[in-house]
Amino acid sequence: MHDEPTVAGPSGLPEEERDGEHDTLKYSLLGPSLTKAGQDAVDQKKVSEIIYHASKGSKFFNNEEVKDRTLTEKITRILARKRQLERLDLTSDIRRADDYIAELDLGRDLSQVVVHLDCDAFYAAVEELDRPELKNLPFAVGKGVLTTCNYEARKFGCRSGMASFVAMKLCPKLICLPLNFDKYSAKAEEVRAVIARYDPRFESASIDEAYLNVTEYCRLHEQTPWDAVAQMREEIHETTKITVSAGIAANAKLAKIASNQRKPNGQFQIAPERDTIMEFMRDLPTRKVNGVGRVFERELDAVGVKTCGDIYAERGLLKKLFGEKAFLFLIQCYLGLGRTNIQPAEESERKSVGTESTFGDLSGKDVLRAKLRYSADELEKDLERTQVKGRTLVLKIKLHTYEVYTRQVVTPFAVHKADDLYRFALPILAKLEKEMGDLKLRLMGLRVTHLVSTKKEGIDFFGMHARPKPPSESVKAKVEDEGEWEVWPEEEFEEAARQERQDEMNEIEALSQDPQDAVDRGDDPPAEGPTQPQASESWFCPICSLPQPANDRVFNAHIDFCLSKQTIRDAVKDTSDAMPDRGPRKDPTTKQPATVRGRKRKMAETRDRPLKRSPFTM
DNA sequence: GCGGATCAC
DNA sequence: TATGGTGATCCGC
């Protein structure tokens, strides 16, 4: 682990006394999965050196260096603030912290038995079932970057998230397999079928992790949690040939930590007693807690908090150093508190859908537009699967230097068609090109947020047709009291949706007769004088090619106005001129048939999709 | 609300 | 030679 004395990183010396300029960087380069199992017997110092020298000089490395320096500076500021605070009277902060601690401790719930299940090296384990000859060979899943690797490979220091070529330096015989998501999903379903017998309301945390509340199960079967979990693990292994590790505790946070203690193929219980829990947390490195990553670990380490027990001594400072949320989170770590309500993910919880892809360094306006078009096409597919559209569109780019930028626009209507995604994202890209000169990119991505459902019908697992959900109230109003189980007629739905979109366009047209009107409606304070386009500091609208003032709001207002003047077809034609080597596109107003396959995929995804929870809140 | 940063897996 | 994709949250502005 990282407390190996010879390894760089949070340990030993206080942040400011550490001499080796690259110690923190070397620690960082070890990757985010240090807490994962299988590394205990590995010489981390040696691994660190190999990674460091394999990476040195690369653009990736240079960017990591920059990030490391930035973090070091931030930590310097944190320490300065800490010294400043320590000269002040903190008794009231300490009292407030103590009040909060007392309140939480009083409400501590030890009545529930929560289990965290984690499949061991899941993707690798699934691959191994198909190819038993891999059993005792070091191998990994994932090209370019390892998604996971088996324990044989971990002996060499290989880890998930590691670049393949680095892993090959550590383990020249490493075999890298391509990903087979469908296979893993299918196997995950098998595992879930078993665990559902122990808690039908289990919660999928990811494809290979789940939380269960087995309180009821243990009561009904008069079984101890330990025995019930041992039996469940045995049953999972027998029926799926997959081994899982488990943590048993009074809440999700502790169960998660516990499941890491006896990996692989083991289980660990933290008794539901206050003193046992406090004792366990006292010596637990902060990094073991879900929500504390490499950065927060370093920051905490710098202020003298290495374990959860160390949090108490600094309780009067933490809020001012790290903010309210982090303070509350840390106090809960100190006390070993976490949520106890375990429940299945709900469909409605999704907040965004996006795609991104990495390619070799690319530049050139046309090439980048082709990439943007590709992103739009990919996103359209995902939006169809997930049955949503979004009112905000986010463009993400990563320069060849690994610097990341995101820019977003609020679209005049909720978008999901590739043509719309492309058209509304294009001005953002054009703007970035204006801002930063010709871009050389290694990644581009698109995401929509502020989602609106486009679900036409719900089909439950018995094939029954549930009441459809129209795209909005305005469309819904057009239909009389439809039956509870009636299917929304496809054509009528499409027509209504089309009409709604046209209405929205018309509304924009009406509101934007003069771009200045749109500007005036913005919530910027009124300018001193009317904003006139200034040729010297202007951008060019990618649609009408006229110069526009270099002001975000004005520019966006103009884009809205400009787009609203055009028919969709015109805009498509317009953009396709800048797009060589692309085949004919379908008419964007044409109805897309909802395929049976699409629906099946959607349902599978809905079940697979984990419920994302903030580790900072209960 | 936006953009950067962090985190999990 | 070469370092991922998806989604969420938090913070500072």
Provide the 3-class DSSP secondary structure of residue A409.
strand
Domains of chain A in sequence order: 114-137+173-269 (3.30.70.270), 350-454+512-605 (3.30.1490.100)
Residue nearest to nucleotide B9 (CA to C1'): A206
Residue A410 approaches strand B within 7 Å at CB: yes
Residue A296 approaches strand B within 7 Å at CB: yes
Between CA A32 and C1' C2 the distance (Å) reads 19
Nucleotide with minimal C1' distance from the CA of A451 is: C7
The residue type at A302:
A
A:67-96 Cβ neighbours of strand B under 7 Å:
67, 70-71, 74
Nucleotide with minimal C1' distance from the CA of A147 is: C4
What is the widest separation between alpha-carbon atoms in chain A? 80
Instruction: Tell me which residue has tokens 């169809």.
Output: A384
Between CA A618 and C1' C3 the distance (Å) reads 34
Whole-angstrom Cα distance, residue A515 to residue A317?
A: 51
A:41-70 Cβ neighbours of strand C under 7 Å:
51, 54-55, 58-61
Between CA A290 and C1' B7 the distance (Å) reads 9
Tell me A526's DSSP state: P
Whole-angstrom Cα distance, residue A410 to residue A390?
A: 9
Residue A405 approaches strand B within 7 Å at CB: yes
Residue nearest to nucleotide C1 (CA to C1'): A165
Of A236, A211, A14, A13, which Cα lies nearest the Cα of A115? A211
Of A59, A64, A76, A60, which Cα lies nearest the Cα of A27? A64
- Nucleotides, chain B, CB distance < 7 Å: 1-9
Q: What is the pLDDT of residues A344-391, one digit of tens each?
A: 987 668 999 999 999 999 999 999 999 999 999 999 999 999 999 999
A530-A535-A536-A542 Cα dihedral, nearest 10 degrees: 110
Nucleotide with minimal C1' distance from the CA of A71 is: B5
Whole-angstrom Cα distance, residue A522 to residue A518?
A: 7
Pair A115, A258: CB distance under 8 Å: no
CB contact set of A239 (below 8 Å; sequence gap of 6+): A190, A193, A194
Residue A407 approaches strand B within 7 Å at CB: yes
- Which regions of chain A are under pLDDT 70? 1-21, 36-37, 347-348, 457-613, 618
Between CA A589 and C1' C6 the distance (Å) reads 29
Three-state secondary structure of A372-408: HHHHHHHHHHHHHHHCEEEEEEEEEEEECCCCEEEEE
Residue A355 approaches strand C within 7 Å at CB: yes
A:284-343 Cβ neighbours of strand C under 7 Å:
323-326
Whole-angstrom Cα distance, residue A221 to residue A83?
A: 56
Residue nearest to nucleotide C3 (CA to C1'): A163
A:122-141 Cβ neighbours of strand C under 7 Å:
none
A:386-405 Cβ neighbours of strand C under 7 Å:
386
Structure tokens at A73: 């500076």
CB contact set of A364 (below 8 Å; sequence gap of 6+): A438
Residue A209 annotated as catalytic? yes
Active-site residue among A152, A203, A209, A297? A209
Tell me A593's DSSP state: P
Of A544, A575, A573, which Cα lies nearest the Cα of A369? A575
* Number of other CB atoms surrounding residue A250 within 10 Å: 25
Residue A616 approaches strand B within 7 Å at CB: no
Whole-angstrom Cα distance, residue A369 to residue A363?
A: 10
Structure tokens at A381: 């597919």
Nucleotide with minimal C1' distance from the CA of A61 is: C3
Structure tokens at A63: 């960017």
Three-state secondary structure of A34-82: CCCCCCCCCCHHHHHHHHHHHHCCCHHHHHHHHHHHHHHHHHHHHHHHH
Write down the pLDDT at residue A42.
87
Whole-angstrom Cα distance, residue A318 to residue A308?
A: 13
Cα atoms in the 13 Å half-sphere on the side-chain side of A501: 19
Whole-angstrom Cα distance, residue A413 to residue A504?
A: 7
Write down the pLDDT at residue A272.
98
Measuring CA to CA, how many Å separate A341 from each of A195, A256, A284, A397?
17, 14, 24, 38
Residue A29 approaches strand C within 7 Å at CB: yes
Measuring CA to CA, how many Å separate A20 from each of A8, A12, A13, A16, A59?
9, 13, 11, 11, 21
Residue A162 approaches strand C within 7 Å at CB: yes
Residue nearest to nucleotide C7 (CA to C1'): A352
- Nucleotides, chain C, CB distance < 7 Å: 2-12
Residue nearest to nucleotide C8 (CA to C1'): A612
Q: What is the pLDDT of residues A33-81, one digit of tens each?
A: 877 667 777 888 899 999 999 999 999 999 999 999 999 999 999 999 9
Residue A62 approaches strand B within 7 Å at CB: no
Residue A533 approaches strand C within 7 Å at CB: no
Pair A227, A273: CB distance under 8 Å: no
Instruction: Cis check for the bond before A525: say yes or no (omega within 30 of 0).
Output: no
